[in-house]
Amino acid sequence: MNRLQKLCFISLTMVLAEVIQLPLWASSLKTSSDAILPYGQFNLTLQGSYLHEAMGFDQKTPATHLWDAPSLNLLLGLGPLADFELHWDIFHVTQTRQEVYQDVSDVSFFTRFQIFQEGLLPSIAARLGTKLPNASDEDRAGTDLMDIYLWGILGKQMGHFHILSNIGLLLFDRADGGQRDALGYRFAIEYPFSNRWTMTSEFAGQYEKTRSPINQSLLNLEIAYQPLKTWKFFGAVSTGVIQNSENIGVHLGLTRNFHAF
């Protein structure tokens, strides 16, 4: 475990020592919400994922089985118009037909800004982030390269349905010193069919060029259950639309909300 990863654990422990309860929002989907987390609120999400027959975490060669468990997501409300997010895929396991690889993986940071609140027109937000090159590509836990993500977010409530759209420019470093530029797309429809249960369907992916190893496209269906205001549990199944994405994926997780300050 490197110094940055140790600092992440220490920071998390210090924050949890001071928090109290508040309501929350959570999801295992790739699509980002248009709702900014209120000032002082803090969401902690732990999730595990399994993918069968998908492109490896190193984005070089396919793998038979992929495990991402656990992954840690921290979301902190900075004010009425912005929040900050840290995401860490703590441990990656890659199994091919010949070998098994395992190691700690990448840390990513994001900031989200509210640009326009929903009225007659959809809400508009921006999400900017970067992934640090702290994963080992030799152990196939990640790319060992820095990436940059620039996302635009639209959201609109239509009756009982909440519709979200994310369009982004994704800048991936190459090991040879070049850069891959990809278009990211994410569309989701959320429907609360009771006070405690919510179902969300999603279509998400990214495209660079024909036969690129970073191309992805998948369908995702999530069911979320919120027994208390400060707890939410979720599970999802996913399936790829193109060859690089998983044949089948299973995702399970939980979110706990706190008041940090």
Query: Band of the pLDDT at 243, cuts 50, 70, 90?
Result: confident
CB 168 within 8 A of CB 182: no
CB 130 within 8 A of CB 146: yes
Q: How far apart are CA 202 and CA 51, in angstroms?
A: 17
Q: 13-60 pLDDT, tens per residue?
A: 443 333 333 344 446 799 999 999 999 999 999 999 999 999 999 888
Q: How far apart are CA 123 and CA 100, in angstroms?
A: 45
Q: What is the DSSP string of 173-214?
A: E-TTS-EEEEEEEEEEEEEE-SSSEEEEEEEEEEE-STT-TT
pLDDT of residue 12: 44
Determine the distance from the C-alpha atom of residue 183 to the mean position of all C-alpha atoms in its chain, rounded to a whole number: 17
Q: Quote the pTM value.
A: 0.86
pLDDT of residue 249: 97
- What integer is the mean pLDDT of 109-134? 96
Report how far apart, in Å, the C-alpha atoms of 30 and of each of 7, 33, 56, 171, 184 are.
26, 10, 18, 17, 11
Q: How far apart are CA 235 and CA 201, in angstroms?
A: 12
**What's domain 3-254's superfamily in CATH?**
monomeric porin ompg (2.40.160.40)
Q: What are the extents of the domains in the chain?
A: 3-254
Max CA-CA distance within the chain? 56
pLDDT of residue 158: 96
Q: 170-202 pLDDT, tens per residue?
A: 999 998 888 999 999 999 999 999 999 999 999
Q: How far apart are CA 183 and CA 120, in angstroms?
A: 28
pLDDT of residue 137: 82
pLDDT of residue 72: 95
pLDDT of residue 2: 55
Q: How many residues does the chain have?
A: 261
Q: How far apart are CA 174 and CA 187, in angstroms?
A: 28
Q: Is the pLDDT of residue 95 over 50?
A: yes
Report how far apart, in Å, the C-alpha atoms of 172 and of each of 18, 59, 139, 145 are.
37, 11, 19, 8
Q: Would you tell me how many other CB atoms lie within 10 Å of the CB of residue 92?
A: 25
Taking the CA of residue 184 as centre, how many other CA atoms within 13 Å lie in the half-sphere pointing to its CB? 22
CB 22 within 8 A of CB 258: yes
